[in-house]
A = this chain, B = another copy of it.
Amino acid sequence: MPDPALLDRLRDAVAAGFAAETEFLQAMVRFPSLRGAEAPLQDWLHRELGARGYAMDRFTLADVPLDAHPQAAPMVEADPARSVQVVAAHRAPNPTGRSLILQGHIDVVPEGPAEMWTHPPYAGVIRDGWLYGRGAHDMKAGVAAMIFAMEAIRACGLEPAADVYLQTVTEEESTGNGALATLLRGYRAEAALIPEPTGHAITRAQTGTIWFRLKVRGVPVHVMVAQDGSNAIMSAFALIQALHAHTKRLNAAGRDNPWYGGVRDPIKFNPGIIRGGDWASSTPAWCEVDCRIGLLPGTTPEEAMAGVEAAVREAAKGDAFLANNPPEVTFHGFRTEPYVLEPGSEAEAVLAEAHRAVHGGAMPERLSTAVNDTRYYGRQMGVPGLCYGPRGEGAHGFDERTSLADLQTCTLTIAAFIAEWCGVRPLR
Protein backbone atom coordinates (compact mmCIF):
# COMPACT_ATOMS: atom_id res chain seq x y z
CA MET A 1 0.00 0.00 0.00
CA PRO A 2 1.49 3.37 -0.92
CA ASP A 3 2.50 5.47 2.01
CA PRO A 4 -0.33 8.06 2.54
CA ALA A 5 2.13 10.92 2.80
CA LEU A 6 3.77 9.91 -0.47
CA LEU A 7 0.35 9.56 -2.09
CA ASP A 8 -0.48 13.13 -1.06
CA ARG A 9 2.81 14.37 -2.50
CA LEU A 10 2.16 12.48 -5.73
CA ARG A 11 -1.40 13.86 -5.90
CA ASP A 12 -0.04 17.40 -5.62
CA ALA A 13 2.65 16.71 -8.20
CA VAL A 14 0.16 15.25 -10.67
CA ALA A 15 -2.11 18.25 -10.14
CA ALA A 16 0.79 20.68 -10.55
CA GLY A 17 1.82 18.96 -13.80
CA PHE A 18 -1.65 18.45 -15.20
CA ALA A 19 -1.73 21.54 -17.40
CA ALA A 20 1.48 20.30 -19.02
CA GLU A 21 0.06 16.78 -19.29
CA THR A 22 -3.09 18.10 -21.00
CA GLU A 23 -0.98 20.10 -23.45
CA PHE A 24 1.16 17.05 -24.10
CA LEU A 25 -1.93 14.96 -24.86
CA GLN A 26 -3.32 17.70 -27.08
CA ALA A 27 -0.04 17.77 -29.00
CA MET A 28 -0.17 14.00 -29.46
CA VAL A 29 -3.78 14.12 -30.72
CA ARG A 30 -2.73 16.67 -33.34
CA PHE A 31 -0.51 14.04 -35.02
CA PRO A 32 -2.70 12.02 -37.41
CA SER A 33 -0.81 8.87 -36.48
CA LEU A 34 -2.75 6.55 -38.74
CA ARG A 35 -1.26 3.22 -39.75
CA GLY A 36 1.85 3.83 -41.82
CA ALA A 37 2.03 7.46 -40.67
CA GLU A 38 3.03 7.04 -37.02
CA ALA A 39 6.69 7.97 -37.47
CA PRO A 40 6.44 11.76 -37.01
CA LEU A 41 4.71 11.32 -33.65
CA GLN A 42 7.27 8.71 -32.63
CA ASP A 43 10.07 11.09 -33.57
CA TRP A 44 8.45 13.80 -31.43
CA LEU A 45 8.08 11.41 -28.49
CA HIS A 46 11.70 10.35 -28.95
CA ARG A 47 12.75 13.98 -28.56
CA GLU A 48 10.34 14.71 -25.69
CA LEU A 49 11.39 11.66 -23.67
CA GLY A 50 15.06 12.15 -24.50
CA ALA A 51 14.80 15.70 -23.15
CA ARG A 52 13.46 14.24 -19.90
CA GLY A 53 16.70 12.31 -19.42
CA TYR A 54 15.71 8.79 -20.47
CA ALA A 55 18.10 6.54 -22.35
CA MET A 56 16.45 6.35 -25.75
CA ASP A 57 16.09 3.54 -28.25
CA ARG A 58 14.30 4.07 -31.55
CA PHE A 59 13.97 1.27 -34.09
CA THR A 60 11.63 -0.01 -36.77
CA LEU A 61 9.88 -3.32 -37.28
CA ALA A 62 12.45 -4.07 -39.98
CA ASP A 63 15.22 -3.93 -37.36
CA VAL A 64 14.00 -7.03 -35.50
CA PRO A 65 13.56 -10.62 -36.75
CA LEU A 66 9.78 -10.35 -36.90
CA ASP A 67 9.25 -12.74 -39.80
CA ALA A 68 10.82 -15.60 -37.91
CA HIS A 69 8.47 -15.28 -34.94
CA PRO A 70 5.43 -17.57 -34.85
CA GLN A 71 3.24 -14.85 -33.28
CA ALA A 72 4.08 -12.20 -35.86
CA ALA A 73 1.09 -11.22 -37.98
CA PRO A 74 1.26 -10.51 -41.72
CA MET A 75 1.46 -6.87 -42.74
CA VAL A 76 -0.14 -6.57 -46.15
CA GLU A 77 -0.63 -2.83 -46.38
CA ALA A 78 2.05 -1.39 -44.10
CA ASP A 79 5.81 -1.25 -44.52
CA PRO A 80 7.70 -2.62 -41.48
CA ALA A 81 10.63 -0.31 -42.23
CA ARG A 82 8.41 2.75 -41.73
CA SER A 83 6.88 1.52 -38.49
CA VAL A 84 8.90 3.23 -35.76
CA GLN A 85 9.02 2.04 -32.12
CA VAL A 86 10.32 4.09 -29.19
CA VAL A 87 11.64 2.86 -25.85
CA ALA A 88 12.68 5.28 -23.08
CA ALA A 89 14.63 3.53 -20.34
CA HIS A 90 14.98 4.59 -16.74
CA ARG A 91 17.94 2.48 -15.57
CA ALA A 92 18.22 2.32 -11.79
CA PRO A 93 21.77 1.85 -10.49
CA ASN A 94 21.78 -1.15 -8.16
CA PRO A 95 18.05 -1.70 -8.50
CA THR A 96 16.25 -2.80 -5.37
CA GLY A 97 12.62 -2.85 -6.61
CA ARG A 98 10.80 -4.73 -9.33
CA SER A 99 11.22 -3.78 -12.96
CA LEU A 100 8.32 -2.54 -15.05
CA ILE A 101 7.26 -1.99 -18.64
CA LEU A 102 4.80 0.84 -19.24
CA GLN A 103 3.52 0.56 -22.79
CA GLY A 104 1.06 2.44 -24.94
CA HIS A 105 0.22 2.37 -28.63
CA ILE A 106 0.14 5.58 -30.59
CA ASP A 107 -1.43 4.28 -33.81
CA VAL A 108 -5.01 5.35 -34.36
CA VAL A 109 -7.78 4.00 -36.59
CA PRO A 110 -9.17 6.07 -39.49
CA GLU A 111 -11.45 8.91 -38.49
CA GLY A 112 -14.16 8.26 -41.12
CA PRO A 113 -16.17 11.03 -42.83
CA ALA A 114 -14.96 14.36 -41.42
CA GLU A 115 -18.45 15.88 -41.53
CA MET A 116 -19.60 13.48 -38.85
CA TRP A 117 -17.26 15.01 -36.24
CA THR A 118 -18.48 17.88 -34.06
CA HIS A 119 -14.85 18.97 -33.59
CA PRO A 120 -12.16 18.22 -36.18
CA PRO A 121 -10.62 14.83 -35.41
CA TYR A 122 -7.03 16.04 -35.16
CA ALA A 123 -7.57 19.42 -33.49
CA GLY A 124 -7.45 18.34 -29.83
CA VAL A 125 -10.37 20.60 -28.88
CA ILE A 126 -11.19 20.78 -25.14
CA ARG A 127 -14.82 21.36 -24.08
CA ASP A 128 -16.39 20.93 -20.64
CA GLY A 129 -13.67 18.71 -19.27
CA TRP A 130 -13.34 16.48 -22.33
CA LEU A 131 -10.51 16.41 -24.84
CA TYR A 132 -11.80 15.43 -28.29
CA GLY A 133 -10.10 13.72 -31.17
CA ARG A 134 -9.20 10.50 -32.88
CA GLY A 135 -6.92 8.65 -30.48
CA ALA A 136 -7.61 11.00 -27.53
CA HIS A 137 -9.27 8.06 -25.80
CA ASP A 138 -7.70 5.06 -27.59
CA MET A 139 -5.07 5.47 -26.30
CA LYS A 140 -3.06 8.67 -26.28
CA ALA A 141 -4.60 9.61 -22.91
CA GLY A 142 -3.04 6.45 -21.47
CA VAL A 143 0.32 7.32 -23.02
CA ALA A 144 0.16 10.77 -21.41
CA ALA A 145 -0.80 9.17 -18.09
CA MET A 146 2.20 6.82 -18.00
CA ILE A 147 4.68 9.53 -18.99
CA PHE A 148 3.31 12.04 -16.49
CA ALA A 149 3.06 9.44 -13.72
CA MET A 150 6.85 9.18 -14.00
CA GLU A 151 7.09 12.97 -14.09
CA ALA A 152 5.09 13.21 -10.86
CA ILE A 153 7.47 10.85 -9.07
CA ARG A 154 10.43 12.96 -10.21
CA ALA A 155 8.62 16.13 -9.22
CA CYS A 156 8.56 14.69 -5.67
CA GLY A 157 12.36 14.47 -5.81
CA LEU A 158 12.21 10.70 -6.27
CA GLU A 159 12.85 8.10 -8.92
CA PRO A 160 11.92 4.42 -9.31
CA ALA A 161 14.34 2.06 -7.57
CA ALA A 162 14.10 -0.39 -10.48
CA ASP A 163 14.32 -0.33 -14.25
CA VAL A 164 11.30 1.19 -15.97
CA TYR A 165 10.78 1.13 -19.72
CA LEU A 166 8.36 3.58 -21.28
CA GLN A 167 7.42 2.15 -24.68
CA THR A 168 5.34 3.76 -27.39
CA VAL A 169 4.45 1.30 -30.12
CA THR A 170 2.55 1.03 -33.40
CA GLU A 171 0.42 -1.69 -35.00
CA GLU A 172 -1.77 -2.31 -31.94
CA GLU A 173 -4.86 -1.72 -34.05
CA SER A 174 -3.90 -4.07 -36.86
CA THR A 175 -1.36 -6.76 -35.96
CA GLY A 176 0.29 -6.28 -32.55
CA ASN A 177 3.68 -6.40 -34.22
CA GLY A 178 4.84 -3.20 -32.48
CA ALA A 179 4.55 -4.75 -29.01
CA LEU A 180 6.09 -7.97 -30.28
CA ALA A 181 9.01 -6.01 -31.71
CA THR A 182 9.88 -4.57 -28.27
CA LEU A 183 10.14 -8.14 -26.98
CA LEU A 184 12.27 -9.13 -29.95
CA ARG A 185 14.45 -6.08 -29.27
CA GLY A 186 15.04 -7.73 -25.90
CA TYR A 187 13.06 -5.67 -23.41
CA ARG A 188 11.89 -7.65 -20.39
CA ALA A 189 10.53 -6.75 -16.95
CA GLU A 190 8.73 -8.35 -14.02
CA ALA A 191 5.39 -6.78 -14.95
CA ALA A 192 3.83 -4.76 -17.75
CA LEU A 193 1.10 -2.15 -17.51
CA ILE A 194 -0.75 -0.90 -20.58
CA PRO A 195 -3.02 2.04 -19.73
CA GLU A 196 -5.66 1.35 -22.38
CA PRO A 197 -8.81 3.35 -21.59
CA THR A 198 -10.60 0.80 -19.39
CA GLY A 199 -12.37 3.33 -17.17
CA HIS A 200 -10.25 2.41 -14.11
CA ALA A 201 -11.01 -1.31 -14.42
CA ILE A 202 -8.58 -4.19 -14.76
CA THR A 203 -9.00 -6.29 -17.89
CA ARG A 204 -9.41 -9.87 -16.72
CA ALA A 205 -9.55 -11.42 -20.15
CA GLN A 206 -9.50 -10.50 -23.80
CA THR A 207 -10.73 -12.38 -26.82
CA GLY A 208 -8.40 -13.08 -29.72
CA THR A 209 -8.87 -11.42 -33.08
CA ILE A 210 -8.52 -12.60 -36.65
CA TRP A 211 -8.48 -10.26 -39.63
CA PHE A 212 -9.34 -11.67 -43.00
CA ARG A 213 -10.11 -10.45 -46.46
CA LEU A 214 -12.73 -12.02 -48.67
CA LYS A 215 -12.03 -11.71 -52.39
CA VAL A 216 -14.76 -12.48 -54.85
CA ARG A 217 -13.87 -12.47 -58.53
CA GLY A 218 -15.92 -13.39 -61.53
CA VAL A 219 -16.78 -12.69 -65.11
CA PRO A 220 -18.88 -9.56 -65.40
CA VAL A 221 -21.22 -8.68 -68.20
CA HIS A 222 -23.02 -5.63 -69.49
CA VAL A 223 -25.93 -4.88 -67.23
CA MET A 224 -28.25 -5.38 -70.21
CA VAL A 225 -27.83 -9.13 -69.81
CA ALA A 226 -27.53 -9.19 -66.02
CA GLN A 227 -29.85 -11.30 -63.94
CA ASP A 228 -30.62 -10.13 -60.43
CA GLY A 229 -28.07 -11.11 -57.85
CA SER A 230 -25.50 -12.78 -60.09
CA ASN A 231 -22.74 -10.39 -59.33
CA ALA A 232 -19.68 -10.13 -57.13
CA ILE A 233 -21.22 -7.61 -54.71
CA MET A 234 -24.26 -9.80 -54.09
CA SER A 235 -22.07 -12.87 -53.72
CA ALA A 236 -19.91 -11.07 -51.17
CA PHE A 237 -23.09 -10.33 -49.28
CA ALA A 238 -23.94 -14.06 -49.32
CA LEU A 239 -20.55 -14.75 -47.72
CA ILE A 240 -21.13 -12.08 -45.07
CA GLN A 241 -24.47 -13.65 -44.20
CA ALA A 242 -22.82 -17.07 -43.93
CA LEU A 243 -20.21 -15.62 -41.59
CA HIS A 244 -22.91 -14.05 -39.42
CA ALA A 245 -24.47 -17.52 -39.15
CA HIS A 246 -21.03 -19.01 -38.37
CA THR A 247 -20.56 -16.43 -35.60
CA LYS A 248 -23.96 -17.26 -34.16
CA ARG A 249 -22.97 -20.92 -33.96
CA LEU A 250 -19.66 -20.03 -32.29
CA ASN A 251 -21.42 -17.86 -29.71
CA ALA A 252 -23.91 -20.64 -28.99
CA ALA A 253 -21.01 -23.05 -28.47
CA GLY A 254 -19.29 -20.46 -26.24
CA ARG A 255 -22.05 -20.35 -23.63
CA ASP A 256 -20.04 -22.77 -21.48
CA ASN A 257 -16.79 -20.80 -21.73
CA PRO A 258 -15.30 -20.42 -18.25
CA TRP A 259 -14.52 -16.75 -18.82
CA TYR A 260 -17.10 -15.55 -21.31
CA GLY A 261 -20.09 -17.78 -20.47
CA GLY A 262 -21.86 -14.81 -18.92
CA VAL A 263 -21.22 -12.38 -21.75
CA ARG A 264 -23.88 -12.13 -24.46
CA ASP A 265 -22.40 -12.88 -27.88
CA PRO A 266 -18.75 -12.28 -26.94
CA ILE A 267 -17.52 -13.23 -30.42
CA LYS A 268 -17.98 -10.25 -32.70
CA PHE A 269 -17.86 -10.57 -36.45
CA ASN A 270 -17.48 -7.31 -38.32
CA PRO A 271 -17.43 -6.69 -42.06
CA GLY A 272 -15.51 -3.42 -41.71
CA ILE A 273 -14.49 -2.35 -45.21
CA ILE A 274 -16.10 -3.19 -48.52
CA ARG A 275 -15.11 -2.21 -52.03
CA GLY A 276 -16.26 -3.65 -55.30
CA GLY A 277 -17.10 -2.88 -58.90
CA ASP A 278 -15.98 -0.10 -61.20
CA TRP A 279 -19.05 1.16 -63.01
CA ALA A 280 -22.75 1.55 -62.22
CA SER A 281 -23.71 -0.02 -65.53
CA SER A 282 -21.34 -2.99 -65.42
CA THR A 283 -22.14 -6.00 -63.29
CA PRO A 284 -19.36 -5.96 -60.71
CA ALA A 285 -16.54 -8.39 -61.45
CA TRP A 286 -14.94 -8.16 -58.07
CA CYS A 287 -15.69 -7.38 -54.48
CA GLU A 288 -13.45 -7.40 -51.42
CA VAL A 289 -14.51 -7.31 -47.79
CA ASP A 290 -12.12 -6.77 -44.90
CA CYS A 291 -13.45 -8.54 -41.83
CA ARG A 292 -12.64 -9.13 -38.20
CA ILE A 293 -13.81 -11.99 -36.01
CA GLY A 294 -13.08 -12.78 -32.37
CA LEU A 295 -12.14 -16.01 -30.62
CA LEU A 296 -12.58 -17.09 -27.01
CA PRO A 297 -10.00 -18.45 -24.58
CA GLY A 298 -9.68 -22.14 -25.35
CA THR A 299 -9.60 -21.57 -29.11
CA THR A 300 -6.40 -21.08 -31.10
CA PRO A 301 -6.07 -18.58 -33.96
CA GLU A 302 -5.45 -21.53 -36.27
CA GLU A 303 -8.77 -23.08 -35.30
CA ALA A 304 -10.58 -19.77 -35.76
CA MET A 305 -8.99 -19.28 -39.19
CA ALA A 306 -9.94 -22.80 -40.27
CA GLY A 307 -13.51 -22.10 -39.13
CA VAL A 308 -13.70 -18.99 -41.30
CA GLU A 309 -12.34 -20.87 -44.29
CA ALA A 310 -14.81 -23.71 -43.85
CA ALA A 311 -17.78 -21.35 -43.50
CA VAL A 312 -16.77 -19.49 -46.68
CA ARG A 313 -16.20 -22.73 -48.59
CA GLU A 314 -19.60 -24.06 -47.55
CA ALA A 315 -21.38 -20.82 -48.47
CA ALA A 316 -19.72 -20.73 -51.87
CA LYS A 317 -21.23 -24.11 -52.74
CA GLY A 318 -24.73 -22.67 -52.40
CA ASP A 319 -24.18 -19.58 -54.56
CA ALA A 320 -24.48 -19.83 -58.35
CA PHE A 321 -21.81 -17.21 -58.97
CA LEU A 322 -19.36 -18.41 -56.33
CA ALA A 323 -19.63 -22.07 -57.19
CA ASN A 324 -17.91 -21.23 -60.49
CA ASN A 325 -15.65 -18.55 -59.04
CA PRO A 326 -14.45 -19.78 -55.63
CA PRO A 327 -13.78 -16.89 -53.26
CA GLU A 328 -10.36 -16.35 -51.73
CA VAL A 329 -9.75 -15.83 -48.04
CA THR A 330 -6.50 -14.17 -47.02
CA PHE A 331 -5.39 -13.42 -43.48
CA HIS A 332 -3.90 -9.97 -43.68
CA GLY A 333 -3.47 -8.77 -40.11
CA PHE A 334 -4.41 -9.82 -36.58
CA ARG A 335 -4.14 -13.51 -35.78
CA THR A 336 -3.99 -13.13 -32.04
CA GLU A 337 -4.53 -15.52 -29.20
CA PRO A 338 -6.99 -14.74 -26.44
CA TYR A 339 -5.39 -13.86 -23.09
CA VAL A 340 -6.54 -14.25 -19.51
CA LEU A 341 -4.82 -12.34 -16.73
CA GLU A 342 -4.82 -15.08 -14.14
CA PRO A 343 -6.04 -13.62 -10.83
CA GLY A 344 -3.71 -13.59 -7.84
CA SER A 345 -0.54 -11.96 -9.13
CA GLU A 346 1.43 -9.61 -6.89
CA ALA A 347 1.45 -6.96 -9.63
CA GLU A 348 -2.35 -6.94 -9.82
CA ALA A 349 -2.59 -6.71 -6.03
CA VAL A 350 -0.29 -3.68 -6.00
CA LEU A 351 -2.36 -2.03 -8.76
CA ALA A 352 -5.58 -2.79 -6.84
CA GLU A 353 -4.11 -1.12 -3.76
CA ALA A 354 -3.16 1.95 -5.77
CA HIS A 355 -6.65 2.04 -7.28
CA ARG A 356 -8.26 1.75 -3.82
CA ALA A 357 -6.01 4.52 -2.46
CA VAL A 358 -7.08 6.89 -5.26
CA HIS A 359 -10.69 5.85 -5.92
CA GLY A 360 -11.67 4.48 -2.54
CA GLY A 361 -13.03 1.08 -3.55
CA ALA A 362 -12.20 -2.28 -5.06
CA MET A 363 -10.72 -2.21 -8.55
CA PRO A 364 -13.49 -3.38 -10.92
CA GLU A 365 -12.68 -5.95 -13.54
CA ARG A 366 -13.86 -6.26 -17.10
CA LEU A 367 -13.91 -8.86 -19.85
CA SER A 368 -12.91 -7.38 -23.17
CA THR A 369 -14.37 -8.53 -26.47
CA ALA A 370 -11.42 -6.98 -28.28
CA VAL A 371 -7.63 -7.29 -28.11
CA ASN A 372 -4.90 -5.28 -26.44
CA ASP A 373 -1.13 -5.75 -26.38
CA THR A 374 -0.91 -7.20 -22.85
CA ARG A 375 -1.18 -10.69 -24.36
CA TYR A 376 2.48 -10.55 -25.40
CA TYR A 377 3.72 -9.91 -21.85
CA GLY A 378 1.39 -12.53 -20.38
CA ARG A 379 1.77 -15.22 -23.00
CA GLN A 380 5.28 -14.64 -24.40
CA MET A 381 7.15 -13.35 -21.33
CA GLY A 382 5.09 -15.07 -18.64
CA VAL A 383 4.70 -11.93 -16.50
CA PRO A 384 1.44 -10.24 -15.57
CA GLY A 385 0.12 -8.02 -18.37
CA LEU A 386 -2.05 -5.44 -16.65
CA CYS A 387 -4.49 -3.52 -18.85
CA TYR A 388 -5.90 -0.63 -16.81
CA GLY A 389 -6.35 3.02 -17.69
CA PRO A 390 -8.42 6.20 -17.94
CA ARG A 391 -12.01 6.80 -19.02
CA GLY A 392 -13.41 8.10 -22.27
CA GLU A 393 -15.85 7.44 -25.08
CA GLY A 394 -16.10 6.84 -28.79
CA ALA A 395 -13.23 4.45 -29.52
CA HIS A 396 -13.14 3.93 -33.31
CA GLY A 397 -16.18 6.25 -33.57
CA PHE A 398 -16.95 9.92 -34.04
CA ASP A 399 -16.45 12.54 -31.33
CA GLU A 400 -14.00 10.26 -29.56
CA ARG A 401 -13.06 11.95 -26.27
CA THR A 402 -11.27 11.42 -23.01
CA SER A 403 -12.31 12.75 -19.62
CA LEU A 404 -9.61 15.05 -18.26
CA ALA A 405 -10.67 14.56 -14.62
CA ASP A 406 -10.32 10.80 -15.07
CA LEU A 407 -6.99 11.25 -16.81
CA GLN A 408 -5.72 13.06 -13.72
CA THR A 409 -6.87 10.37 -11.23
CA CYS A 410 -5.51 7.67 -13.50
CA THR A 411 -2.14 9.39 -13.71
CA LEU A 412 -2.04 9.41 -9.92
CA THR A 413 -3.03 5.74 -9.72
CA ILE A 414 -0.25 4.79 -12.09
CA ALA A 415 2.28 6.93 -10.19
CA ALA A 416 1.25 5.22 -6.94
CA PHE A 417 1.53 1.84 -8.62
CA ILE A 418 5.04 2.57 -9.94
CA ALA A 419 6.15 3.88 -6.56
CA GLU A 420 4.97 0.74 -4.80
CA TRP A 421 5.99 -1.83 -7.43
CA CYS A 422 9.42 -0.42 -8.21
CA GLY A 423 10.05 1.33 -4.92
CA VAL A 424 11.41 4.88 -4.89
CA ARG A 425 14.63 6.49 -3.86
CA PRO A 426 15.84 10.08 -3.96
CA LEU A 427 16.36 11.44 -7.42
CA ARG A 428 19.98 11.36 -8.51
B110, B221, B231, B275: the one within 8 Å of A282 (CB): B110
Interface residues of A in 204-231 (CB under 8 A from B): 209, 211, 217, 219-229, 231
Hey, which chain B residues are within 8 Å of A244, CB to CB?
A: 228-229
Given contacts A113-B285, A284-B271, contact A368 B217 (CB under 8 A): no
A224 / chain B contacts, CB cutoff of 8 Å: 268, 368-370, 395
Q: Closest 10 interchain pairs by CB? A: A110-B278, A224-B370, A282-B396, A272-B280, A273-B277, A222-B396, A222-B395, A280-B290, A223-B270, A224-B369
In-complex Cβ contact of A273 among B270, B271, B280 (8 A): B280
Instruction: Give the complex CA separation of A222 and B395 in angstroms.
Output: 6
Interface pair A223/B278, CB less than 8 Å apart:
no
A333 to chain B, nearest CB (A): 7
The answer to whether B112 and A285 touch across the interface, beta carbons within 8 angstroms, is yes
* In the assembled complex, A286 has its CB within 8 A of some CB on chain B: yes
Shortest CB–CB separation between residue A243 and chain B, in angstroms?
10
- Measured CB to CB, the closest approach of chain B to A305, in angstroms, equals 14
Determine the residue in chain B with the shortest Cβ distance to A370. Answer: B224
Supply 7 A–B pairs (Cβ within 8 Å), ascending by A.
A109-B282, A110-B279, A173-B279, A174-B281, A223-B268, A228-B247, A272-B282
Question: Counting CB contacts under 8 A, is A388 at the interface?
Answer: no
A192 at the interface (CB under 8 A from B): no
Q: Flag if B231 contacts A271 (CB, 8 Å).
A: yes
Once the chains bind, are A221 and B274 in contact (CB under 8 Å)? no
Cβ-based interface call for A86 (8 A): no
Are B398 and A219 closer than 8 Å at their CB atoms?
yes
* Chain B residues with CB below 8 A from A278, complex form: 109-112, 272-273
Among the listed B174, B269, B271, B397, which residue makes an inter-chain contact with A285, where contact means beta carbons less than 8 Å apart?
Answer: B397
Chain B residues positioned under 8 Å from A111 (CB to CB): 278
C-alpha gap A293/B273 in the complex (Å): 25
User: Which listed residue (B110, B271, B286) contacts A113, Cβ 8 A?
Assistant: B286
Q: Decide yes or no whether A187 CB sits under 8 A from chain B.
A: no
Known: A211-B281, A283-B396. 5 other contacts (CB 8 A): A112-B285, A113-B286, A224-B268, A226-B270, A275-B276
Given contacts A234-B271, A272-B279, A281-B292, contact A398 B248 (CB under 8 A): no
CB distance from A214 to the nearest CB of B (A): 11
Judged by a CB distance under 8 angstroms, whether A116 is at the interface is yes
List, in ascending order, chain B residues with CB within 8 A of A277's CB. Answer: 271-274, 290
Interface residues of A in 287-323 (CB under 8 A from B): 287, 289-292
Q: How far is the CB of A412 from chain B (nearest CB, A)?
A: 26
Question: Given A234-B240, A240-B234, are A220 and B271 neighbors across the interface (CB < 8 Å)?
Answer: no
A247 CB, min distance to chain B CBs, angstroms: 7
A286 CB to nearest chain B CB (Å): 6
Q: Of the candidates B265, B280, B284, B289, which one forms a contact with A211 in the assembled complex, judged by CB atoms under 8 Å apart?
A: B280
- Closest Cβ of chain B to A312, distance in Å, is 16
Task: For residue A408, give the distance in angstroms from its CB to the closest CB of chain B.
Answer: 24
CA distance A18 to B361 in the complex (A): 91
* Interface assignment of A415: CB less than 8 Å from any CB of chain B: no
Taken together as a complex, chains A and B put the C-alpha atoms of A101 and B355 apart, in Å, by 84
Bound state CA distance, A284 and B270, in angstroms? 9
Q: Counting CB contacts under 8 A, is A136 at the interface?
A: no
CB of A403 to closest CB in B, whole Å: 17
Q: A239-275 interface mask toward B, CB cutoff 8 Å, 1 = contact, 0 = none?
A: 0100010011000000000000000010011111111
Q: Which residues of chain B are near A110, meaning CB under 8 Å?
A: 278-279, 282
A276 near B279 (CB under 8 angstroms)?
no
